A and B are shown apart, each in its own frame.
Chain A
Amino acid sequence: GQQLNQSPQSMFIQEGEDVSMNCTSSSIFNTWLWYKQDPGEGPVLLIALYKAGELTSNGRLTAQFGITRKDSFLNISASIPSDVGIYFCAGFPTTSGTYKYIFGTGTRLKVLA
């Protein structure tokens, strides 16, 4: 099935460092959602973006809806051990016809204490 491209695929960082990841698509998207998934759990919504250029924060997390509407970025500042997990972007393309969220391939984050 169709999936969005996320990069990097995985990353190891030191506690306290900032993290950046992005998500790209070949199609224009109307909405971007960012989720975090812990092992054995369902994805938990972190941030939702609805307008091109929109920049939204949730605590140490900041996400942006790209101007081209084909990409989105998530930044985590001052990482802590509990940030470890898999981060997924999701959105639905303007051509989908329904609100069918397409998911990215995920970025696996490991934080070294």
Chain B
Amino acid sequence: GAGVSQSPRYKVAKRGQDVALRCDPISGHVSLFWYQQALGQGPEFLTYFQNEAQLDKSGLPSDRFFAERPEGSVSTLKIQRTQQEDSAVYLCASSLGGPSEAFFGQGTRLTVV
């Protein structure tokens, strides 16, 4: 597609519920990143894929967070047993790979109530 697409744009989850956030990167982009952005803060790194391989997941805050990109294109970020502190905007970005420009989607705003 023309840009990075994320869905849903907004998600309200009850505490304890599982959620799945989807990212469609720019076609042909090898690298895919997930970031978490708290209100008033800069994006914080969660995880990075090169094609289908998850090369870095050092930013995932707990084992309740899981990301996959099984065919090297679409990616899903899953959060199990959501907690209030998980409320944030989750941003996905993609790039051609290496030290190249990363382009972001509009994000998914998750609110846990």
Taking Cβ atoms with an 8 Å cutoff, the residues of A that contact B are: 1, 3, 30-31, 33, 35, 40-45, 48, 50, 88, 90, 92, 97-106
Most buried by A among B41, B45, B104: B45
The reply to whether the CB of B65 lies closer than 8 angstroms to some CB of chain A is no
Tell which of B6, B58, B102 touches A33, judged by Cβ atoms closer than 8 Å.
B102
- Highest count of chain B CB atoms <10 Å: which of A48, A92, A99: A99
Chain B: interface residue total (CB-CB under 8 A): 30
Contact assessment for B104 and A103 in the assembled complex, using a CB-CB cutoff below 8 Å: no
B residues touching A (Cβ–Cβ < 8 Å)? 4, 6, 31, 33, 35, 41-45, 48, 55-56, 58-59, 91, 93, 95, 97-107, 109
A sample of 9 inter-chain contacts (CB < 8 A) reads A1-B59, A33-B102, A41-B107, A42-B93, A42-B104, A43-B104, A45-B101, A88-B42, A103-B44
Question: When the two chains form their complex, are residues A45 and B102 in contact, meaning their CB atoms are under 8 A apart?
Answer: yes
In the bound complex, do residue B48 and residue A99 qualify as a contact, i.e. CB atoms below 8 Å apart? yes
**Please, which residues of chain A bring their CB within 8 A of the CB of B45?**
1, 100-103
- Residue of B91, B102, B107 contacting most chain A CB atoms (<10 Å): B102
Asked if B103 and A45 sit within 8 Å, CB to CB, the answer is yes
Distance in angstroms from B23 CB to nearest chain A CB is: 11
Q: Within 8 Å CB of B105, what residues of A?
A: 42
Q: Which of A3, A30, A88 contacts B99 (CB 8 A)?
A: A30
16 further contact pairs, Cβ within 8 A, besides A33-B102, A98-B55, A100-B59: A35-B104, A42-B4, A42-B6, A42-B91, A43-B43, A88-B42, A90-B43, A92-B99, A97-B56, A99-B98, A100-B45, A101-B33, A101-B102, A102-B45, A103-B44, A103-B45
